[in-house]
Amino acid sequence: MKTSLKKLRGSLWDQPMLAVAQNHLISYPTPSNLNGNYNWGVLAGLCLVLQIRTGIFLAMHYTAHVDLAFHSVQHLMRDVPNGWLLRYLHANGRSLFFIVVYMHLFRGLYYTSYAQPREFVWLVGVVILLIMILTAFIGYVLPWGQMSLWGRTVITSLASALPLVGTSIVGWLWGGFAVDNPTLNRFYSFHYLFPFILRRLSLVHLRALHQYGSTNPLGINAQSDLVDFYPYFYTKDLVAALRLSFGAAYLVNFNPELLGHPDNNIPANPYATPRHIVPEWYFLWVYAILRSIPNKLAGVRAIGLVFAALAALPYMHKPSCRGPSFRRLHKVLVWALIGDFMLLSYLGQQPVEPPYVVLGQRRTVRFFSLLIGLCVRAWADALLANFSLKKSHSKDFAC
């Protein structure tokens, strides 16, 4: 009887759909020395699932029209059963999603998870972050509050800085000569589409990671010390997911507007400019960089340089020198970059007046210096590794 049950269980796991879960979620070989910093990827996947599911139900009650959008959101909050729960889950889940993804990004920088042969994993992650930023910005506009309208006007006008095609892109995004109903319809369509693109890219990201296996904090080859993902790391991820759930429950039930902006609870008024236009907190570092550079085109190029530098890191790093335990300067650079990121986020929400303008410019220069320093450090490590390898080969040949 036991033998037949084992055969039945084995045949079930051999089915195509269940075999994927078996290979990637249960028996996936994982380094035994992973710490809590390697939970962020799973938490990001859970946040994406939450956003897609709540977004589908929110779309059932939303009206993409400038005269009705704000009122449809208020109707959802007041009249639809548990509508407030759906909206606050989606709004605060968005913030938690960005917290998790930023932690995931900085963990990858700290532990040099971008090194070859996992460069494709890193590149897909950079694309995911870029699409996330676009999706969140588009979604922030949909409630059609005061900050939504003016934030959209300021950000979309940045596209006009692009040579030759900038004016055409702005006209296409607006659907006219100003932000109006066609703009809202376009953004609503994109906001519904992009999460499914993110879902597909996340699966590609996961598949590319599992092709070569996970890295580990020491950055060494751990093929001789692997354990199955289930039950050990499944339990660790479950504990992390419960902690994230408690955080989400606190925000939704006790302080749902903590990470939002109060002006967005006011209907959009194109004739009254807010005293201080600020985006959501997860865009503040971008906003601070854009404000610190007087030239519009130079600001757009600077943001592009951030993503270009992130994408270039895998091709400057030598796989033989990976772990931060053996690279003290690398650790200092990453921690300094994290600190500068937080300071830029703080300065981005401050008014455009002294001393915040000068501080923002200094921090922007320091941010790019640290980012370029990471790239130069990776290139120098690769150069020294190649030099030592050639030297050892020449000694062996002489012997």
Scanning 313-355, the segments in alpha helix (DSSP H) are: 328-348
Structural domains of the chain, with CATH = 279-391 (1.10.287)
Strongest mean pLDDT among 50-59, 227-236, 300-309? 50-59
Residue 239 has pLDDT above 90, yes or no: yes
Residues contacting residue 182 through CB under 8 Å, at least 6 positions apart: 174, 175, 176
Would you place residue 231 in the very low, low, confident or very high pLDDT band (cuts 50, 70, 90)?
confident
Tell whether the model's pLDDT for residue 215 goes beyond 60: yes
Catalytic residues: 210, 214, 236-237, 280
First to last CA, the chain: 65
What's the DSSP call for residue 136?
H
Pairing of strands 29-31, 226-228: antiparallel
| Higher per-residue pLDDT: 383 or 350 | 350
pLDDT of residue 397: 47
Q: Per the omega criterion (within 30 degrees of 0), is the bond before 355 cis?
A: yes
What's the confidence (pLDDT) of residue 320?
Answer: 60
Known binding residues for heme b = 90, 104, 191, 205
- pLDDT at res. 399: 47
pLDDT in tens, 64-76: 999 999 999 999 9
DSSP sequence for 259-319: TS-GGGGSB--TTS--SS----GGGHHHHHHHHH-SSHHHHHHHHHHHHHHHHHGGGT--T
pLDDT digits (tens, 9 = 90+) for 134-150: 999 999 999 999 988 88
Average pLDDT over residues 189-201: 96
pLDDT reading at 388 higher than 70: no
Annotated binding site for a ubiquinone: 210
Binding-site residue positions: 90, 104, 191, 205, 210
Those residues with Cβ within 8 angstroms of residue 13's Cβ, 6 or more apart along the chain or in another chain: 19, 22
pLDDT score at 73? 95
How does DSSP classify residue 350? S
- Residue 241 binned pLDDT confidence (cut-offs 50, 70, 90): very high
pLDDT (0 to 100) of residue 193: 96
Residue with tokens 């401050």: 350
Give dist(CA 365, CA 361) in Å, integer.
6
What is the mean pLDDT of the segment spanning 104-122?
A: 91
User: Mean pLDDT score of the chain, rounded to an integer?
Assistant: 87
Note the pLDDT tens digit of each residue in 95-105: 999 999 999 99
pLDDT of 10 strictly over 60: no
Q: Is the pLDDT of residue 3 over 70?
A: no
Greatest mean pLDDT among 4-13, 249-258, 367-376 lies in 249-258
pLDDT at 227 over 50: yes
Taking the C-alpha atoms of residue 15 and residue 22, their distance in angstroms, rounded to an integer, is 10
Q: pTM, whole model, 2 decimals?
A: 0.92
The Cβ of residue 232 has, within 10 Å, a number of other Cβ atoms equal to 13
